Chain A
């Protein structure tokens, strides 16, 4: 049972930061930026490259994440904000195109094989029969810390209030003297940092390859949409729901139902389970679970 909870939490950690970044960017920019899943890979790969060149691991992570955030801001300034003028769907296709170019860069820079941080290997700890490694705990700590910091910023500071105001009604926020342009740049930076940290959290407990971003794409979107795109903390709940669904699909023994001793679904169906959950939710609530927006007539 405890092992099940740990599996769920670890999977939710993989998804939560990128999903929250996607949702936060959507709340202000009004388009789903697909390239965010590539920022996750970029953050982790840059940090690994920094570590290889002799920088201590935590500093390397800081540099990698910071650099990725900067790249995110530049891409947004020169590409996405210009595409947005012709509609959110156009900007979404553009972000898909940008993420393809980013994968080409990865392919040439690090090649198709998976890489990992050079970390000391430790024996997994046993807590009430469940196995957990030290680096899994660190990864969880990174995700939880980042979520906490972002929540404090978003709900407890003046800056966060201005962001929320811009997200709710941009014209009104502009009229009350909020610099909405700066708010947008800021949220783009924050989402880039969060996504990169999400990638680092994945790399800390396993390995990362150029495929990681694409594998994240659909579960992260499912989590963000379940939480209601544009509602950042809904995305965390969405990530938990997706993680539970995936873990149940892969860990449940369907044998008794079929009159056999053991019958597990192929592991690849874990993702299929979460996509179908997404489709079912959208049929029932077309804009996600945690959205209370009144539709304009």
Chain B
């Protein structure tokens, strides 16, 4: 396998974690989170700040997890009595506020330049074995997250989330505590997203506010809508599909001699067009949600 393919697979794995996390919130819980990238940002900045203070990798992971859990909890608490579309806008706005803070508080976060030179994983290894080790680490994390999501959503908890998504009032009357369910769902999603951010920060060695734009959130949305809302395997498939497609756009550009804007425009058209096409013609996505009896009740 060439270095390039390994790189694309690692990125696809990192995005798979984000897609799994968003799928847990949107696909199962019906929570229209448009601020997903802020949870990822908690992970990246947690790792970067711990690196700057020489606190070690695990402390960075811990920072990221705590920050993402807090942000997820706040998102869910604010959404207590808002309609889905209002809440979506609020999460979008809050994510943007967090990005503005990361850009402007340059004494702490390095401002627009971000924090670079973050220690990579496995610094003792040579470049090829190091890449392979990182690949194994990322894919291992995806596997663990996938098993965790399957276990959670295949059992009673998943049924609780689904009934909250479909009939919130009925679920409240059956004794489900909706606010607690939303909070748990957002915190769990936040933790998975923070792991993704931690892996990303140490893999690319650079953390900056430009990585946290709202368009990244829509990219993750496109992944889960195309892969299949409410299906964990679908989320992973969507992430791999889009990452690999994007990876080959620059080659098409070089082959056909089109201008540089072509790459950015194609990205936008693929994300936007994919979303529109799947919403109009195949709303269940590539791998539809499994309905019916839960497996781990």
Contacts and interface: CB of A to CB of B under 8 A. Distances in A.
Interface string A87-122: 011101110111111011101100110000000000
Interface stretch (A46-54, A62-70, A250-258, A268-276): A268-276
Contacts of B275: 93-94, 96-97, 100
A179 to B, nearest CB: 26
B64 to A, nearest CB: 22
Interface residues of B, number: 42
A89 B32 contact: yes
B252 interface: no
Given A100-B268, A221-B89, A272-B100, A111 B276 contact: no
Nearest to B225: A93
Interface residues of A, number: 44
A272 B97 contact: yes
A88 B88 CA distance: 12
B216 interface: no
B81 A101 contact: no
Contacts of A214: 214
B273 interface: yes
B268 A279 contact: no
Contacts of A96: 218, 221, 272, 275
A43 interface: no
B85 A32 contact: yes
A97 B275 CA distance: 6
A222 B90 CA distance: 9
Contact of A94 (B90, B101, B279): B279
Contacts of A269: 100, 104
Interface string A73-97: 0000001001100101110111011
A186 interface: no
B242 interface: no
A278 interface: yes
B218 A275 contact: no
Nearest to B103: A268
A82 B278 CA distance: 12
Contacts of B32: 89, 92
B100 A92 contact: no
B145 interface: no
A222 B93 contact: yes
B139 to A, nearest CB: 29
Given A79-B280, A271-B100, A275-B97, A101 B86 contact: no
Contacts of B279: 83, 86, 90, 93-94, 97
A272 B83 CA distance: 22
A83 B96 contact: no
A32 B89 contact: yes
Nearest to A219: B93
Contacts of B280: 79, 82-83, 94
The B interface is mostly helix, strand or loop, or mixed, namely: helix
Contact of B85 (A89, A100, A272): A89
A177 interface: no
Given A107-B265, A108-B261, A287-B86, A97 B93 contact: no
A92 B82 contact: no
B55 interface: no
A84 to B, nearest CB: 11
A167 interface: no
A92 B262 CA distance: 26
Contact of B93 (A31, A229, A275, A283): A275
Given A107-B268, A111-B261, A79 B276 contact: yes
A206 interface: no
Contacts of B261: 107-108, 111-112
Residue of B100, B262, B283 ringed by the most chain A CB atoms within 10 A: B100
A218 B218 contact: no
Interface string A11-25: 000000000000000
Given A93-B275, A96-B218, A97-B272, A268 B104 contact: yes
A282 interface: yes
A97 B283 CA distance: 14
Contacts of B268: 100-101, 103-104, 107
A259 interface: no
Contacts of B266: 104
B86 A89 contact: no
B265 A104 contact: yes
A286 interface: yes
Given A94-B276, A268-B100, A279 B86 contact: no
B85 A88 contact: yes
Nearest to B30: A89
Contact of B94 (A103, A275, A287): A275
Interface of B: 32, 78, 81-86, 88-90, 92-94, 96-97, 100-101, 103-104, 214-215, 218, 221-222, 225, 261-262, 264-266, 268-269, 271-276, 279-280, 283
25 contacts: A31-B85, A32-B85, A32-B89, A86-B283, A89-B85, A90-B283, A92-B32, A94-B276, A96-B272, A97-B222, A97-B271, A97-B273, A97-B276, A100-B215, A101-B268, A101-B273, A104-B272, A108-B265, A225-B86, A268-B104, A272-B97, A279-B93, A282-B82, A286-B81, A286-B82
The 9 closest A-B pairs by CB, nearest first: A100-B272, A97-B275, A104-B268, A275-B93, A101-B272, A104-B265, A97-B272, A266-B104, A107-B265
